[in-house]
């Protein structure tokens, strides 16, 4: 017997709603998302670790192993509680897509970017998976990885979030998110020069609202080194002390022809790419 058209429509809606919740039904029991990050579309949680107290080290450089010891240029180390969730992405979604969405969400919340690497600039994926995150599911191709470490904005500035995305050899893609709440104030944390450059080139501008005063170290060196990693870039500099910063960066080794005065009315320093 044929169903009326209205009944067919209802049946179709029920079917679609069932499919929409299917991936969530496959989540690990007791798992949950982080409130300040969007869940990757149609993903499922394949690994979940509730908060546990520990001493945590987050790399600020490519991860290598030399003579049996992990090596990286810098790090953030502190004691506190860490929790994590790992999402497996559907076949039609890429690891880069999920990573970018999470990174942009944190940026909009005013998080301070401390370190960001992509592909082989991160080092060896096997070390990130097994040594840094203790999750063998995250082992994939070195060219298919990305890592981000940010410090959340005040009043949560003693909290860090780490993102790690990976595409495995079987083409399965994952996004791993770890949140760390320090048990003592984190103090001053500085980004790397390469990270500042990557942010500038990706978004077209680099906003540094904390730099409201006269130029000072270590920011002069960090910005000078970052700009000199790509000598073809030209930028405008705006802010209350914009001209002083321009002169300081020239003194730091950046060619004056690459730096122009900007007209942005901002409380802090902002660098913008000249396209």
> Residue 109: how many CB atoms within 10 A of its CB?
14
> Residue 72: how many CB atoms within 10 A of its CB?
18
* Average pLDDT of the residues in 77-90: 97
- In tens, the pLDDT along 50-61 reads 999 999 999 999
Q: Name the superfamily (CATH) of residues 193-273.
A: OmpA-like domain (3.30.1330.60)
Task: Give me the residues paired with residue 151 across strands.
Answer: 112, 160
> Computed from CA positions of residues 115, 121, 123, 125, in that sequence, does the dihedral angle turn out positive or negative?
positive
Q: How far apart are CA 254 and CA 247, in angstroms?
A: 9
For residue 24, what pLDDT is reported?
64
The number of residues in the chain equals 275
Instruction: Provide the pLDDT confidence category of residue 265 given band limits of 50, 70 and 90.
Output: confident
Find where tokens 């083409």 sit: 171
pLDDT greater at residue 169 or residue 96: 96
For residue 25, what pLDDT is reported?
55
* Average pLDDT of the residues in 257-266: 92
Q: Exposed e or buried b for every residue in 215-245, given b needs 16+ CB within 10 A?
A: beeebbebbbbbbbeeeebebbbbbbbbeeb
- In tens, the pLDDT along 10-49 reads 333 333 333 333 346 589 999 999 999 999 999 999 999 9
For residue 19, what pLDDT is reported?
36
Query: Domain residue spans in the chain?
Result: 25-182, 193-273
pLDDT greater at residue 261 or residue 2: 261
For residue 272, what pLDDT is reported?
97
* Average pLDDT of the residues in 177-202: 97
- In tens, the pLDDT along 116-163 reads 999 999 999 999 999 999 999 999 999 999 999 999 999 999 999 999
pLDDT greater at residue 265 or residue 160: 160
For residue 266, what pLDDT is reported?
87
> What does pLDDT average to over the chain?
90
Q: Is the pLDDT of residue 5 over 60?
A: no
């Amino acid at each position: 017997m044929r169903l009326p058209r209205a009944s067919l429509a209802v049946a179709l809606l029920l079917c679609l709603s069932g499919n929409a919740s299917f991936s969530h039904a496959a989540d690990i029991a007791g798992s949950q998302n982080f409130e300040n990050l969007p869940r990757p579309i149609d993903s499922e949680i394949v690994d979940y670790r509730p908060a546990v107290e520990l001493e945590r080290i987050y790399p600020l450089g490519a991860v290598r192993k030399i003579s049996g010891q992990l090596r990286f240029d810098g790090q953030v180390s502190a004691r506190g509680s860490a929790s994590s969730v790992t999402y497996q992405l559907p076949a039609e979604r890429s690891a880069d897509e999920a990573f970018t969405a999470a990174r942009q969400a944190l940026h909009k919340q005013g998080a301070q970017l401390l370190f960001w690497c992509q592909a082989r600039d991160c080092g060896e994926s096997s070390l990130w998976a097994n040594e840094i995150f203790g999750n063998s599911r995250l082992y994939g191709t070195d060219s298919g990885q990305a890592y981000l470490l940010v410090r959340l904005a005040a009043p949560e500035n003693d909290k860090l979030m780490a993102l790690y995305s990976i595409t495995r050899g079987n083409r399965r893609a994952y996004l791993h998110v770890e949140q760390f709440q320090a048990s003592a104030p984190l103090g001053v944390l500085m980004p790397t020069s390469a990270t500042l450059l990557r942010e500038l080139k990706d978004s077209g501008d680099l906003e540094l609202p904390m730099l409201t005063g006269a130029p000072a170290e270590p920011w002069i060196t960090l910005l000078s080194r970052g700009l000199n990693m790509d000598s073809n870039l030209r930028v405008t500099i705006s802010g209350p002390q914009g001209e002083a910063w321009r002169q300081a960066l020239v003194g730091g080794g950046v060619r004056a022809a690459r730096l122009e005065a900007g007209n942005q009315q901002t409380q802090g320093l902002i660098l913008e790419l000249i396209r």
